Structure 1
Amino acid sequence: MAQSAEPPPRKAQATVPAFSVDLLIGKGHHTRQAGRTYFQTSAKGYGGFTISGRLFGPGRVRPVVQVGYFGKPTGDEVALCSPDPIGGCRVRFQLPNTQIGAGLAGAAGRKLVVTALGGWALVNPRAMGVDAAQTKAPYAGGTVAWQLGQHTSVIGDMRHFFWRLDEQPYWARAMSFGLRIQ
């Protein structure tokens, strides 16, 4: 009797995680001057986290929602004055911190998940020496996650924020890497 040859089992394709927490560290670039306020030119590091949830059931492409927080830059406050061109001291730039967004996540192959997001972040202008009320900054960004194990991935994340205060444009680009727990 002839044995029927069954094809080898296919390796499982990645799916968008139902729930994940990203732990991030990074640096970024930002506005150098807005009106009479000059910002320090050196990018300081920051830390943060995001919590994401998939909408609907498992699948290769799914809508996601996300909330996150990015903390103050690391390092000490300026001990020495870095002079600005108008006789004052340069101010440390503060990234937008609390964020909420939505987008699409897609699984490519067995280990890669790519996410594109857009949303809003809160900006505290007083932390940057600007006398204005807290405001919202729209952002667009994306994350690439490479699965290391069943419940962990290494990730890269980039976000671009843009907003106006007192008719002056501001922007920040945050680039992070970290660990995803899913």
Structure 2
Amino acid sequence: MIGARIRQLRTERGLTLAQLAAATGVSSGLISQVERDLADPSLETLRKIAKVLDLPLFSLFQEPDGEAVAVVRRGGRMVVKSPAGGISYTRVSPGHGRLEVLEGHLLPGGSSAAEPWTHPSEECVLVLRGRLVVEVAGAEHLLEAGDSCYFDSALPHRYLNPGDEPADFLIAATPPSY
């Protein structure tokens, strides 16, 4: 699904595969494999592609406009993983609309990104299990199970797990712009 969506967005913008590869710093071969669903891109690769296409990351997974009521079954959730940072996200919301809800899982010592990054939305994170540091504009906020943190995502931010057990958390972002 994601490969066809990337190809569609790339061609709509008049970009060749080689141009997208050069702009992202990702090889043409990898982008070709992703577009043909022969390779699963990392979270970092998807962020680079989304940035060049001038789109929020999760819009690469956007579903067509749906019904007024949508049920998302646990087994049918979209998953994005980043093995390098030890983080994975599953989309709890249906993939359309003005609100994105994600369930995050961060391994001990892991981070959501190598460096803090920005995107145009508002974000609220709720820790379900473990400990999570929310780094926003250089300030670190330690959260434990049951704690939450709200911030403007236009500020540089990322999530870190300082503990020795995995951290599970929910993120609500509006508008969707990961």
- Larger proportion of strand: 1
Same fold (TM over 0.5): no
Relative contact order, higher structure (CA 8 A, sep 6+): 1
Q: If the length of structure 1 is used for normalisation, what is the TM-score? A: 0.26
Which protein shows a greater Rg?
Answer: 1
Bigger fraction of residues in helix: 2
Q: TM-score, normalised by structure 2?
A: 0.26
